[in-house]
Amino acid sequence: MDAEQIAAARERWQQRYDRAQKRDADFTTLSGDVVAPAYGPPDDAGSPGYPGFERIGWPGEFPFTRGLYPTGYRGRTWTIRQFAGFGNAEQTNERYRMILDAGGGGLSVAFDMPTLMGRDSDDPRSLGEVGHCGVAIDSAADMEVLFRGLPLADVTTSMTISGPAVPVFCMYLVAAERQGVDPAVLNGTLQTDIFKEYIAQKEWLFAPEPHLRLIGDLMAYCAANIPAYKPLSVSGYHIREAGSTAAQELAFTLADGFAYVELGLSRGLDVDVFAPGLSFFFDAHLDFFEEIAKFRAARRIWARRLRDVYGATTEKAQWLRFHTQTAGVSLTAQQPYNNVVRTAVEALSAVLGGTNSLHTNALDETLALPSEQAAEIALRTQQVLMEETGVANVADPLGGSWYVEALTDRIEAQAEAIFEKIIEMGAAASGQEHPIGPMTAGILRGIENGWFTGEIAEAAFQYQVALEKGDKRVVGVNCHTGSVTPPLTILRVSHEVEREQVRALADRKASRNGAAVTAGLAAMIAAARSGENMVPPMLQAVRAEATLGEICDALRDEWGVYVEPAGF
């Protein structure tokens, strides 16, 4: 771009900035100097211009490298969204109140392992796991207690659940109905992303195809009935935590996102209507600049492909909105107080990369679920960044840094090369067009032949070798190991929670209308066979207090379970 074009772009951005709503806040440095809302290259007549500036641009303009909004965080700060859940619905409800009272901006539900696997608390396979890594939810009644006193119309809630995402979503809708809230007004996020389960986290219920069928139904249902709700949070977090590089995290996740776009299109949905319902979830790891570059590249790649390949015409449909969580794997059991520092640095990279929502890990999360005190420090870490450091004053403050721009270009090129590889894998596998789309074909092939897991395992191995050689260093682990830190007091979930949950479930099963449950489940299976949208009959079963295990067992009976092919 020459100086004249840069000046014209600046003028365009300035006009949009002037028209936009801003927070009533102080936008000066600590020394009291006024700062501009965004900075760009010089555009006076004598300046040489900036080749390739159209790839960077101004905040709020295509390809959104510098963020989605002309105002950056001056319009609205990121959402402080702390992932939380343990024990039963009542205990978790209390933690949510603490989070909101302390200034949290949204809720984020962590479910226990039985719930994540679509099993009830009284299932023999659940023994010893109930309420341990998250909250136990067996039926709509638990969901009602989880959100008691928390107005679902006003607070955005994320639910981290993927295998049984749709029945859990139905329980959330029923909890809203029981609060007297019209589900159509709900705003929140459901994780749902099943591809990353096969690629990294390994919590699926069935083979990919029936999961995609359910996800397609969910996308169609939300696009038609709950316009603000985001039914998919396409997740790189688990891929990174399994050991991938930053470029793999970015590329595998965006490829998964493109496959969901193909799914929506294959169902005849309008991309401008359903694409705003796709959001993303990334890891913020320790390499500060690489992470910032990853977030900036993510927005640029997504906007380009959505416009140029999938035909999205509105800004909202081209936007990549994302939540970030600081890297759990970077936390150490040794000298755990240092984790506060790691988390703060990682959170800062997310903010400088323009995250829309953020979870900061607690210092004790490598040992157990966060204690109340550790959860408070984690939340305050975000508030220190937001309120004290001036980072919310200027949009994309690292834009134009030679280093950050070079890293952004590099990670983008690495991701593009991985997309090509995935598409090629799909084409080579079948030799004919896949009914959903070429990216989907490649992902399904890569899952089937273990390519994704192999790539991640190799990256994790290389990092481990570097760590063990001492080329990569971790304070308290392979260097600076002397310490006077006393052991932490950690949160323990009593096994009484499980006994109580099982008792409550037995009472609930005894007092509900069994015929209504049976009819709801039968209607759901009839829809599974006929091809009708499965959300309405599932809702009917959930309203009758069908349990998660009953719904998922009926589906497992219908579709079978999935066993991962062994790979060596």
Token pair 């299976």 is found at: 525
Judged by CB under 6 A, does residue 16 bind ligand MCA? no
349-378 residues in contact with ligand MCA (CB under 6 A) are 356-357
The contact pattern for ligand MCA, residues 29-68, with x = CB under 6 A and - = no contact, is ----------------------------------------
The amino acid sitting at 459 is A
Judged by CB under 6 A, does residue 106 bind ligand MCA? yes
- SS3 readout for 419-440: HHHHHHHHHHHHCCCCCCCHHH
Q: Which residue is nearest to ligand MCA (CB)?
A: 75
Q: Which stretch binds ligand MCA (CB under 6 A): 44-52, 76-84, 175-183, 372-380?
A: 76-84
From 115, 126, 233, 540, residue interacting with ligand MCA (rule: CB under 6 A): 233
Six-digit token string for 398: 């690292």
Provide the minimum distance between the beta carbon of 227 and ligand MCA in the complex, in angstroms, as a whole number. 10
CA distance 239 to 199: 7
Q: Which is nearer to ligand MCA, 7 or 155 (CB)?
A: 155
Provide the minimum distance between the beta carbon of 79 and ligand MCA in the complex, in angstroms, as a whole number. 3
The amino acid sitting at 526 is A
Residue 399 near residue 81, CB atoms below 8 Å: no
Judged by CB under 6 A, does residue 92 bind ligand MCA? no
Q: Which stretch binds ligand MCA (CB under 6 A): 186-194, 289-297, 369-377, 495-503?
A: 186-194
Burial 142-156 (b: 16+ CB within 10 A, else e): bbbbbbeebebeebb
Please name the residues in contact with 177: beta carbons below 8 A apart, sequence gap of 6 or more.
183, 543
Q: Which is nearer to ligand MCA, 65 or 356 (CB)?
A: 356
What phi and psi values does residue 141 have, to the nearest 5 degrees? -60, -35
Extended beta strands in 66-123, E state = 79-84, 106-110
CA distance 301 to 40: 21
Q: Which stretch binds ligand MCA (CB under 6 A): 184-192, 262-270, 297-305, 459-467?
A: 184-192
Report the SS3 class of residue 107.
strand
Residue 336 near residue 474, CB atoms below 8 Å: no
Q: Which stretch binds ligand MCA (CB under 6 A): 299-307, 322-330, 331-339, 523-531?
A: 322-330
Judged by CB under 6 A, does residue 281 bind ligand MCA? yes
Judged by CB under 6 A, does residue 156 bind ligand MCA? yes
> CB neighbours (10 Å) of residue 313?
11
- Residues near ligand MCA (CB under 6 A): 69, 71, 75-76, 79, 81, 83, 106, 108, 156, 158, 160, 187, 189, 191, 228, 230, 233, 237, 279, 281, 321-323, 325, 356-357
